[in-house]
Chain A
Amino acid sequence: MKVRVDVMLKTGVLDPQGEAVRHALGNLGFDGVETVRQGKVIELEVAPGTSEDTIKEMCEKLLANTVIENYAIQVL
């Protein structure tokens, strides 16, 4: 079973890397890019039937730092 976890900085937490990417896009001539937020995608291959609660625990304990990051779980 394949699971995809998206980890993104929480709204309101400044993302200097995203901001640098936005600037670089502007330099390339792509106008009108208002904001860029950069995050992580983590793909897991887990045993069939692994509960969403278990995946959630993985996110809370390790995959995301919930002080600054949100996560979204997607079973593929």
Chain B
Amino acid sequence: MKAAVIVFPGSNCDRDLAVAFERAGADVTMVWHKDTHLPEGLDIVGVPGGFSFGDYLRCGAIAAQSPITRSLIRHTERGGYALGICNGFQVLTETGILPGALMRNANLKFICKPVGLKVASTETPFTSGYDLGQEITVPVAHHDGNYTVTDEKLAQLRDEGRIAFTYTDNPNGSTGDIAGVISKNHRVLGMMPHPERAVDALHGGTDGQAMFRSLLDSFVSA
């Protein structure tokens, strides 16, 4: 598996994400936001958490206009895989690669704690290693994780099986308890919780490992 992790000014989970990919057996290249091209022959692009561009204007809005992001959009349009976590999810919605928007948490607080997630779909290369309905614990750390979509879009996401994870106890007001959504072709996942912060016993849990292993398996068998 060949992965690239994009680094924006203000990204702070880029190295964690790289380590999580590496632990699953990936070759990882870090890519600076000013680069105009992603490396050749990539299996997946990781868009990490953090506070790209200081969250100015809206979380992820400026990063969505970075030179590398144009290359990321082309990559996904060609059917390439991508994983956006936390701020990375916000970037993916700001580019329009994924639907909806991440708004300020309903309780207005920055929430930083492990949360329960329910695996809502295993029909994705990211979640095939979990059981449907399985409950896992993964940390969240965000101020703007309140996933917002219209009722019509929510119905569409449900019909198309595009909700990857839901919260067992919604911490931020997200529509439909949604914690992670996938693209129409099931190759792009955006989620607010941090699976890369749950891949080592020292993290306090390893429930994120199955995601990176699922990815590796899907690329090996593909």
Contact = CB atoms under 8 A, between A and B. Distances in A.
Contacts of B94: 65
Contacts of B107: 16
Given A67-B100, A67-B148, A16 B105 contact: yes
A62 interface: yes
A73 B57 CA distance: 17
B101 A68 contact: yes
Contact of A65 (B61, B65, B106): B61
Interface string A9-35: 000011011001000000000000000
A74 to B, nearest CB: 19
Contact of B101 (A14, A16, A20, A67): A67
User: How large, as a class, is the contact surface on chain B?
Assistant: 10 to 19
B104 interface: yes
Contacts, number: 34
A61 B101 CA distance: 14
Question: Mostly helix, strand, loop or mixed at chain A's interface?
Answer: helix
Question: Mostly helix, strand, loop or mixed at chain B's interface?
Answer: loop
A16 B100 CA distance: 17
Contact of A67 (B65, B93, B104): B93
B58 interface: yes
Residue from A14, A62, A67 having most chain B Cβ neighbours under 10 A? A67
B173 A16 contact: yes
B108 interface: yes
Contacts of B106: 14, 16
Nearest to B94: A65
21 contacts: A13-B148, A14-B106, A16-B103, A16-B106, A16-B107, A16-B108, A16-B173, A17-B108, A20-B108, A61-B65, A62-B57, A62-B61, A62-B65, A63-B57, A65-B58, A65-B101, A67-B93, A67-B99, A68-B101, A68-B103, A68-B148
